[in-house]
């Protein structure tokens, strides 16, 4: 992973000429950004932890698992939001941890938390480091130092129960490796976010991630049936049955808790059979409104595809749903519908919300082709025009490649960032307008694109991509826009995050969403589980 950018350097992408023209003509990008700092020139403060602290930490995990090198510290600085990358490109290593710890077991994690609590050392749980909400930059104030607790060594698939279709896995498993290990058993999680190449299972649970195939496989939090968590106050082992009426479900308190209550050290996850057949296709609608009604109808009446997304007019025109061919867009609004399931026979099983008897499952169309025909009939009835499988193949081919363009855009002098939210169907048009207006008001002639990325019976999520010319300090420029968007989302009744999480960037808006009693509950839980406040200070809890 690039330390100041995204992904595998070998997959770095040049800007296509049509995008360069667009930046120049439409957005007024005239000057390339200042060149990115070299690794050697990143400014780091001296290690704040004393030799005695480092020795005590090494007593728990071993010397080689306590790393204080420049390389280790820089590679654990911040996450991968655009402001994170802009700061790293500027050589700003001020958020670097003093040390990186690599525990090898639950017991080592628990012992480290006890030691750090006693010595007032702040702890940042670190999975794949792909947070885009400032979830990895802890506050130092009042602490002897900050350590990144990298879970990379906790990377085993521990057990597979094919009768219950439940596996137990460790949190540091990266998604591709998890899929590789599961595939040996003919299984899949079906969780494919755009950060798939680097993010970990623990990070997915801690940030309530949602993948591109969520219509068929559910969100990651739908997949978690059990969690083991180490906290400074002791261990939690949650989830012993598929559903339970035994009081409030404490798993829900840990899902999305972004490391502020404890460290997830094992996950029990619902899995599915690897699909034998996958078909992705495109449809065109005349307007975003029309397409939205069609997606709502599919979400409420079925049959539901496995992948379902609708680009608005601007995103379709730019061609963002075809990441390997951006700039080659078309008119109208593009729908990508994907169907996954056994080569023949029943489709991918019901998601949690699609219990037998729900509209989506009561459809007679249960095979991939049957569901495709059934959903196609709905899309056609709602005014959609079939485009065949070519747009679906283009989307599938480039589904993880769009983030690689961001580095080239930043270098060219444009800021590109994403914003996501969700709301009920009836509130969606207002939410869409509110976010667009906030961005158009806060930035000078930005390009604002949007797609519906995840659908539910009651509503959907909106995912915006914004591109604007860098003016002055690009971090400050983006922070002003972000503040305006956060306020607009709250005022329009949307949630501040559908799947990126809260981190530092959404903390105040999350507090507004929760209200004062909700905030007090969060603080009370934090005080019980982490009385010295060492876990991810400054993140999530207002
Ligand atoms: C290019 C790009 C594309 C993205 N696309 C998507 C997408 O399609 N869908 C989506 O949902 N998200 C997406 N994200 C956001 C991000 O990938 C997710 O939030 C993901 O869940 C983070 O996983 P991670 O392993 O990288 O966690 P990290 O970034 O390392 O950590 C995330 C948060 O969880 C905490 N944490 C990590 N591991 C643990 C643990 N074991 N126990 C307790 N706390 C822990 C961290 O302290 C931090 O606060 C994208 C990000 C990028 C950069």
Q: Whose CA is nearest to atom 45 of ligand 1?
A: 259
CA separation for the pair 29, 26 (Å, rounded): 8
Of 271, 276, 264, 104, nearest to 179 (Cα)?
A: 271
CA separation for the pair 537, 138 (Å, rounded): 5
CA separation for the pair 370, 389 (Å, rounded): 16
DSSP 309: E
Asked if residue 259 has its Cβ within 6 Å of ligand 1, the reply is yes
Point out which residues pair with 264 in neighbouring strands. Answer: 229
Asked if residue 126 has its Cβ within 6 Å of ligand 1, the reply is yes
Q: Which atom of ligand 1 is nearest to the CA of 206?
A: 34
CA separation for the pair 192, 209 (Å, rounded): 10
Q: Which atom of ligand 1 is nearest to the CA of 127?
A: 30
Asked if residue 258 has its Cβ within 6 Å of ligand 1, the reply is yes
Of 435, 434, 431, nearest to 423 (Cα)?
A: 431
pLDDT in tens, 113-135: 999 999 999 999 999 999 999 99
Is pTM beyond 0.85? Reply is yes
Contacts of 107 (CB under 8 A, 6+ apart): none
Asked if residue 7 has its Cβ within 6 Å of ligand 1, the reply is no
- Mean pLDDT check: name the lowest of 19-33, 160-174, 278-292: 19-33
- Mean pLDDT check: name the lowest of 11-25, 267-281, 369-383: 11-25
- Mean pLDDT check: name the lowest of 6-10, 82-86, 139-143, 432-436: 6-10
Asked if residue 227 has its Cβ within 6 Å of ligand 1, the reply is no
CA separation for the pair 151, 255 (Å, rounded): 17
The answer to whether 542 and 507 have CB atoms below 8 angstroms apart is: yes
Point out which residues pair with 237 in neighbouring strands. Answer: 228
pLDDT in tens, 244-297: 999 999 999 999 999 999 999 999 999 999 999 999 999 999 999 999 999 999
pLDDT band with cut points at 50, 70 and 90 for residue 66: very high
Residue matched to tokens 């029990």: 268
Asked if residue 463 has its Cβ within 6 Å of ligand 1, the reply is no
CA separation for the pair 491, 493 (Å, rounded): 5
CA separation for the pair 97, 110 (Å, rounded): 20
> Sheet containing 234-238: which strands, arranged edge to edge?
157-161, 166-169, 263-270, 224-231, 234-238
pLDDT in tens, 416-462: 999 999 999 999 999 999 999 999 999 999 999 999 999 999 999 99
CA separation for the pair 150, 141 (Å, rounded): 22
Asked if residue 499 has its Cβ within 6 Å of ligand 1, the reply is yes
Q: Whose CA is nearest to atom 47 of ligand 1?
A: 125
CA separation for the pair 404, 155 (Å, rounded): 26
Residue 87, phi then psi, degrees to nearest 5? -65, -40
Structure tokens given for 428:
């969606």
pLDDT in tens, 89-118: 999 999 999 999 999 999 999 999 999 999
Ligand 1 centroid, distance to 343 Cα (angstroms): 33
Residue 398, phi then psi, degrees to nearest 5? -105, 15
CA separation for the pair 498, 419 (Å, rounded): 10
DSSP 200: B
Q: Which atom of ligand 1 is nearest to the CA of 154?
A: 41
- Cα R_g (the chain), whole angstroms: 23
The answer to whether 275 and 540 have CB atoms below 8 angstroms apart is: no
Distances (CA, A) of 369 to 66, 291, 299: 53, 22, 18
């Amino acid at each position: 992973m690039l330390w100041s950018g995204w992904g595998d350097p070998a997959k770095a992408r040049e800007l296509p000429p049509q995008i360069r023209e667009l930046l120049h003509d439409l957005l007024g990008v005239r000057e390339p950004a200042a060149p990115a700092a070299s690794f050697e020139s990143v400014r780091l403060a001296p290690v704040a932890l004393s030799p005695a602290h480092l020795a005590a930490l090494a007593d728990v995990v071993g010397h080689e698992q306590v790393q204080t090198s420049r390389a280790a510290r820089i590679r654990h600085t911040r996450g991968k939001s655009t402001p994170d990358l802009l700061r790293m490109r500027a050589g700003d290593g001020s958020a670097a941890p003093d040390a990186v710890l690599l525990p090898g077991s639950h017991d080592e994690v628990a012992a480290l938390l006890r030691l750090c609590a006693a010595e007032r050392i702040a702890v940042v749980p670190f999975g794949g480091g792909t947070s885009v909400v400032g979830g990895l930059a802890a506050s130092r104030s009042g602490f002897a130092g900050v350590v990144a607790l990298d879970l990379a060594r906790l990377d085993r698939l521990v057990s597979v129960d094919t009768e219950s279709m439940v596996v137990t896995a460790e949190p540091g498993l990266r998604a591709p490796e998890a899929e590789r290990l599961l595939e040996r058993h003919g299984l899949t999680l079906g969780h494919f976010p755009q950060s798939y190449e680097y993010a970990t299972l623990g990070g997915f649970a801690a940030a309530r991630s949602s993948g591109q195939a969520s219509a068929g496989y559910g969100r990651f939090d739908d997949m978690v049936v059990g969690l083991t968590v180490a906290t400074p106050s002791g261990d939690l082992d949650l989830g012993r049955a598929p559903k339970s009426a035994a009081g409030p479900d404490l798993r829900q308190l840990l899902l999305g808790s972004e490391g502020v209550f404890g460290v997830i050290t094992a996950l029990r996850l619902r899995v599915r059979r690897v699909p034998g057949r996958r078909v992705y296709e495109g449809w065109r609608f005349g307007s975003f409104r029309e397409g939205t009604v069609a997606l709502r109808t599919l979400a409420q009446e079925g049959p539901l595809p496995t992948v379902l997304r609708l680009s608005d007019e601007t995103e379709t025109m730019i061609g963002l749903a075809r990441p390997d061919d951006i700039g080659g867009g078309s008119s109208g609004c593009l729908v990508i519908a994907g169907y996954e399931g056994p080569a023949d026979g029943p489709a991918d099983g019901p998601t949690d919300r699609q219990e037998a008897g729900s509209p989506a499952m009561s459809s007679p169309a249960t095979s991939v082709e049957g569901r495709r025909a059934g959903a196609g009939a709905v899309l056609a009835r709602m005014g959609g025009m079939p485009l065949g499988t070519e747009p679906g193949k283009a989307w599938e081919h480039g589904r993880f490649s769009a983030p690689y363009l961001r580095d080239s855009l930043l270098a060219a002098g444009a800021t590109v960032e994403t914003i996501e939210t969700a709301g009920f169907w009836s509130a969606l048009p207002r939410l869409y307008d509110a976010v667009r207006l906030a961005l158009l008001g806060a930035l000078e002639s930005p390009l604002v694109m949007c797609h519906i990325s995840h659908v539910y019976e009651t509503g959907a999520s909106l995912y915006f991509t914004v591109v604007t010319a860098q003016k002055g300090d690009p971090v400050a420029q983006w922070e002003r826009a972000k503040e305006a968007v956060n306020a607009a989302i709250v005022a329009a009744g949307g949630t501040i995050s559908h799947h990126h999480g809260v981190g530092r960037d959404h903390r105040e808006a999350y507090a507004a969403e929760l209200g004062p009693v909700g905030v007090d509950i969060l603080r009370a839980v934090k005080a019980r589980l982490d009385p010295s406040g060492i876990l991810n200070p400054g993140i999530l809890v207002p």
